[in-house]
Every structure is written in structure tokens, then in C-alpha cells.
Amino acid sequence: MFVVLLITVLVFGGVFLAKFLSGRAVNAFFDDMPQPPVAITTFDAVEQAWTTPLEAVGTLVAVNGTDVTTEAGGVVRRLSFEPGQPVKAGTVLVELNTDNELAVLRSSEAAAKLAAVQRDRWRQLGNDQLVSQAEVEQRATEAATAQAQVDAQRALIAQKTIRAPFDGVLGIRKVNLGQYLAPGAAIVSLQQLDPIFLNFALPEQQLTRIQEGATVEARVDALPDRRFEGTITAIEPAVDPNTRNFQVQATLTNPDGQLRPGAFARVGLAVGGAQKVVVIPQTAVSFNPYGNAVYVVSEQRGDANADAPKDGDQGPTLTVSQRFVTTGPTRGDMIAVTEGLKPGERVATSGLLKLRNDAVVTINNRVQPSADEAPTPENR
């Protein structure tokens, strides 16, 4: 039994030892096996002068815009406008029934006329010292009160004739003939379209770079082929503590009325002068939460990698190294690098997922990724 057990241990021990040694040899082989070269495309970083653009989204707002209302209630007797028509300031829009107010006005005028006659009569008697000065002043007060009632009644009648408060374009009518109109009820929308305001917000870091009089460019989705220019006319002095943004208002000319209040607009403005930046395609940048990086291609001479393809076994071997960079604004397919890259350095623009530090690469630039500052892709 002892011999049988000994032989069994030796047999199985030899099997496990052989398996362990063979696995170790295989792992060592794969660990020491050279990595095949990775085919990539490259781009030589260039230095260009870029202005620093700021982009924002804004809302168009009428310089003057309101729902025309009435201060006094009454029945609509006459409508003097058509929906959608332009009007001038002071144009009569609606007239309310004023028959009762006119009757009260005539009564008040008669009372005021009588009070004025009595005032003058008692004033003459006061000059002749036939009545006291207190009675003269009382008659003068009664005459002034009667005239004030006349003026108040005339103002009430004037309130029942609703006029356009400013030049603009009318909207859709909200009242009908014969309808009772309560005080404050909306009659029609009136919007002044030329000029027109554009309100937008910018982060507080840009507060010192924005000045009144700067030129802005606006685009709206309804007119994608047009660009509207304006100037900054007001800057909110306070920063919103909730968003850390500040409000900016620009004024745009709108003679044809194509820009409408409430519309969404994309705003672009250039601040400062042109600055020199290093430009590379966006495909060359690996955007990561911990920082953006590029792979810089460099030449390595000697026998650093015997399996790497060489030109006549004497040319340099191309390797890549990862480098963190600070990126700036973008323009089309290109992006500006403000720190970490010099002009003329070659960076990889494709195959980044297969790269690592000191990886050997081969360059094949027959098919390059798009690198256009103003790309115009086709619909397919």
C-alpha cells in the first residue's frame, strides 16, 4: 500500500508540476511578446490667430409691448382696428358707451357755470364789504369743486376711448362689439417691433470683458440663413446668486419686422483681440473627466523594438506618448490648445483607443478625419 500511494503521489505530482511549468512558460511568452504596431493618422499642430468668441442663447423682447386695456368699464360700442395692422401712437382702437357719462357731464358743467357766477357775484360783494371774506372764499371753493367734478367726468369719458399708447403692430382681437368690458380686461396685444431687444445671460467670469457698445450677432431658427447684428445697450450690474450669470441686453434693428418678441435666438460675440493658439482636430483629443489628453508622435532611434518596422532596418521607430493639455474654444472640427502642445508637434488623430504610452505606431494618412473649421455636412 505504501508503494502504491508513493507511486500515485509521484505520478499526480509530476502531472501538476508539468502543467504549472507549461502555463508559466506560456504566460512568460505572451508577456514578452512584442506589441504589433498600431496604424494611426496624424496631424501637425499649427499656430493660428483666433478671436475668443462667446456664445449664448437669448430671447427677443419688444422695446414696448403690452396688452391694451381699459381703465373704465363699459359696453363696446365701436371697434376701430383690424387685427395685425400697424398703428401709430394715439390711434383710436375701441370706443365704449358713454351716454350716461355725457349726461352727467352736462349736469356738472351747468352746476360749475352757476358756481362760477355766484363766485364772481360774491367776490364783487366782498369788495364792496357787503359780505364777509369767509363767505367769498366759500363761494370760490364751491366753484373750484364744481369745476373739478367737470374735469373728472371728462377724464372718465376720455378713458372710455382707448387709444394706442405707442407705435406698433396689433395682435389678435380679444373683444367683440357689444361686449361688456371690465376694467383691466385685455383688448388686443400691441408690440413695437423696430427696434427690438435681445436679452441673454453670460457667466460671471465674462463680466469684465463685456462692454456697452460691443457688437453682437444673432441667429434665429425661423431664418437660418440670416444674421442679425446689434449692439449691447445695457448690462445688469448684479449677478444672479442662483445661476452665477448676469443679464445683458442688446438692441437690434428690425425694419422688416421678421424678428418677433419671445423668439429664441443664438447669440455670438467676440471679445478682445485675436490671440495666437495651437490648433488641432478635435478627434486628436481624448476628453476625460480627469483631464483632456493627446498622443504625441515621436521618433525613437536604435533597437528599442526589434519587431517594429524599420526603413532598411536603420530608420527611426515611431512611438506615442500621452500628454495632458488644456483645451480652449472650438471652431468646426478644430479645437484650440492653450497649454501643453507646441506648434509643429505631431499628434495622433485616429486609433486613440488602441494606444498607450510608448506604443509603436505606423502612419497611414491616406484617409484623414475631417478637419474643417466650417464643415458643411450633406444630408444623406
CA angle 16, 24, 5 (to 5 degrees): 10
Does residue 375 lie in a domain region? no
CB of 40 closer than 8 Å to CB of 348: yes
Nearest to 179 by CA among 68, 276, 75: 75
Beta partners for 319?
A: 298, 360
Please tell me the predicted confidence (pLDDT) of residue 271: 72
Q: Are 92 and 151 in a shared domain?
A: no
Query: What CATH number did the domain enclosing 261 receive?
Result: 2.40.30.170
Counting Cα atoms < 13 Å in the Cβ hemisphere of 198 gives 26
146-173 tens-digit pLDDT: 899 999 988 888 889 999 999 999 999 9
- Three-state DSSP state, 108: helix
Write out the H or E segment, with its range, that includes residue 196.
strand 196-203
Cβ atoms within 10 Å of 195's Cβ, excluding its own:
17
Please tell me the predicted confidence (pLDDT) of residue 242: 93
354-367 tens-digit pLDDT: 888 888 899 988 88
Extended beta strands in 42-145, E state: 42-44, 46-62, 65-68, 74-79, 86-87, 92-96
Nearest to 336 by CA among 49, 38, 89, 101: 49
CA atoms of 129 and 124, how far apart (whole Å): 9
Q: Are 229 and 286 in a shared domain?
A: no
Q: Are 114 and 174 in a shared domain?
A: no
Beta partners for 279?
A: 46, 336
Which of 22-26, 311-315, 327-331 shows the highest mean pLDDT? Answer: 327-331
Query: What CATH number did the domain enclosing 142 receive?
Result: 1.10.287
Residue 314 confidence (pLDDT) above 60: no
pLDDT band at 313 (very low <50, low <70, confident <90, very high): very low
Does residue 27 lie in a domain region? no
Q: Are 176 and 320 in a shared domain?
A: no
Q: Are 284 and 294 in a shared domain?
A: yes
Beta partners for 203?
A: 245
Across the range 28-45, mean pLDDT stands at 79
Residue 324 confidence (pLDDT) above 80: yes
Question: N- to C-terminal Cα distance for the chain?
Answer: 82
CA atoms of 214 and 1, how far apart (whole Å): 102
330-341 tens-digit pLDDT: 888 899 998 999
Number of domains in the chain: 4
Please tell me the predicted confidence (pLDDT) of residue 380: 65
Across the range 15-26, mean pLDDT stands at 83
CA atoms of 259 and 335, how far apart (whole Å): 33
Please tell me the predicted confidence (pLDDT) of residue 312: 42
Return the percentage of the chain with pLDDT > 90, whole number.
Answer: 43
Residue 233 confidence (pLDDT) above 90: yes
* Residue that terminates a domain, selected from 230, 246, 272: 272
Please tell me the predicted confidence (pLDDT) of residue 305: 47
Q: Are 251 and 263 in a shared domain?
A: yes
Does residue 374 lie in a domain region? no
CB of 219 closer than 8 Å to CB of 227: yes
Query: What CATH number did the domain enclosing 185 receive?
Result: 2.40.50.100
pLDDT band at 94 (very low <50, low <70, confident <90, very high): very high
- The C-alpha R_g of the chain, in whole angstroms, comes to 43
Does residue 210 lie in a domain region? yes
CA atoms of 176 and 204, how far apart (whole Å): 49
Across the range 283-302, mean pLDDT stands at 87
Q: Are 281 and 359 in a shared domain?
A: yes
169-190 tens-digit pLDDT: 999 999 999 999 999 899 999 9
Query: DSSP letter string over 19-32?
Result: HHHHHHHHHHHHHH
Nearest to 171 by CA among 185, 186, 196, 190: 190
Please tell me the predicted confidence (pLDDT) of residue 30: 65
Across the range 196-225, mean pLDDT stands at 89
Q: Are 73 and 128 in a shared domain?
A: no
Please tell me the predicted confidence (pLDDT) of residue 304: 45
* Residue that terminates a domain, selected from 159, 177, 201: 159
Q: Grid coordinates in use for 192? A: 413695437
Domain of residue 352 covers 32-51+276-363
Query: What CATH number did the domain enclosing 350 receive?
Result: 2.40.420.20
Does residue 232 lie in a domain region? yes
Please tell me the predicted confidence (pLDDT) of residue 311: 43
Q: Are 263 and 352 in a shared domain?
A: no
Does residue 372 lie in a domain region? no
Q: Are 86 and 179 in a shared domain?
A: yes
pTM reported for the whole predicted model: 0.61
Does residue 309 lie in a domain region? yes
Residue 346 confidence (pLDDT) above 90: yes
Does residue 203 lie in a domain region? yes
Q: Are 343 and 232 in a shared domain?
A: no
Q: How far is CA 143 from CA 122, 134, 148, 163, in A?
A: 11, 14, 9, 32
Please tell me the predicted confidence (pLDDT) of residue 22: 84
Output the average pLDDT for the chain: 86
Q: Are 325 and 290 in a shared domain?
A: yes
